Amino acid sequence: MRVLVTGANGFIGRALGAALEARGTPWRAATRATVGEIGPQTDWRGALEGCDRVVHLANLAHAGGVPEATLRAVNVEGTRRLAAQAAQLGVRRVVYVSSVKAAEPDDAYGEAKRAAEGVLGAISDLETVVLRPPLVYGPGVRANFLALLRAVDREWPLPLATVRNRRSLVYVGNLADAILRCLEAPEAAGRSYCVTDGEPISTPELVRALARALGRRARLFALPPRLLELLGALAGRGASVKRLTRSLAVDDAPIRAELSWRPPFAFDEGMRRTAEWYLGECQSRSR
């Protein structure tokens, strides 16, 4: 087995590359530096040569401010181009890392991810496996999770004490392990799976777990979630606030039952490793 990883220099790609190296699996990285801009004209053939498996990560990860046409060009048409050339060159299997938002799309990003899944499923010469992770965290995380890390590290008071939501998360090392399982397992062909660390948690539980890992106090106070959402909307941060107040729990029982997959890293271990990375980054910047 020789694996091509697109988007190999990204957050998930780096963790997957390390997992492939640890297993001694031959693999090749495809990045914008090697294949150019991702889209309907991308030539993947040089990167695909000699590979019989592909993990496709090279998508736009955050849709905020990205024109819908650009989103579809990269996430849908770029995927279509990769899949077509992979089939022509005899690639056996493509594992596509989609998003939990593809299950019931409510924005352009979710729609594009769902469309990309359909593009792959329409190519009969390929075995395709789709993974739909929820929020992914771990060393190298960015965006909203990194902002929450900073807030907890600085012991800022957070108005989240009365939030009673349930959200699924997955540590990037667990996601990488699930990808490896999907590359290998014959029974995964044609399947779509959600993948998580386990039981969903509330936002206050997440804040407390981060505080423990960072060695800080979790400073939570009560503000009605609806009022918090209203204030967030008025400040132009409505979507970000709803990620903290609303639920998004998914069921990963199928991948556990069908592929006998279990996350190798416990939730607390994932938190600890994420905190160690974050604190190391802070020390590096202060030198």
Report the CATH number that the domain containing residue 39 is assigned in CATH: 3.40.50.720
| Claim to verify: residue 163 and residue 235 sit in the same structural domain | yes
For residues 150 and 211, membership in a common domain is answered with yes
Least confident stretch, 68-72, 76-80, 94-98, 221-225: 68-72
Positions marked catalytic: 109
Q: Do 125 and 150 fall within a single domain?
A: no
Per residue in 169-226, pLDDT (tens digit) is 999 999 999 999 999 999 999 999 999 999 999 999 999 999 999 999 999 999 999 9
Task: State pLDDT tens for residues 217-265.
Answer: 999 999 999 999 999 999 998 988 999 999 999 999 999 999 999 999 9
pLDDT score at 63 = 59
Residue type, 65: G
CATH of the domain at 271: 3.90.25
First CA to last CA distance, the chain: 43
Question: Is-contact 6 16, C-beta < 8 A?
Answer: no
Query: Nearest CA to 95 among 211, 11, 14, 176?
Result: 176
Does residue 128 sit in helix, strand or coil? strand
Give the Cα separation of 176 and 100 in Å (integer): 16
Res 283 pLDDT > 80: no
Q: Work out how many domains the chain is built from and give that number.
A: 2
* Environment class of 260 (CB within 10 Å of its CB; exposed 0-12, middle 13-18, buried 19+): exposed
Please state the pTM of the whole predicted model.
0.95
pLDDT at 48 over 70: yes
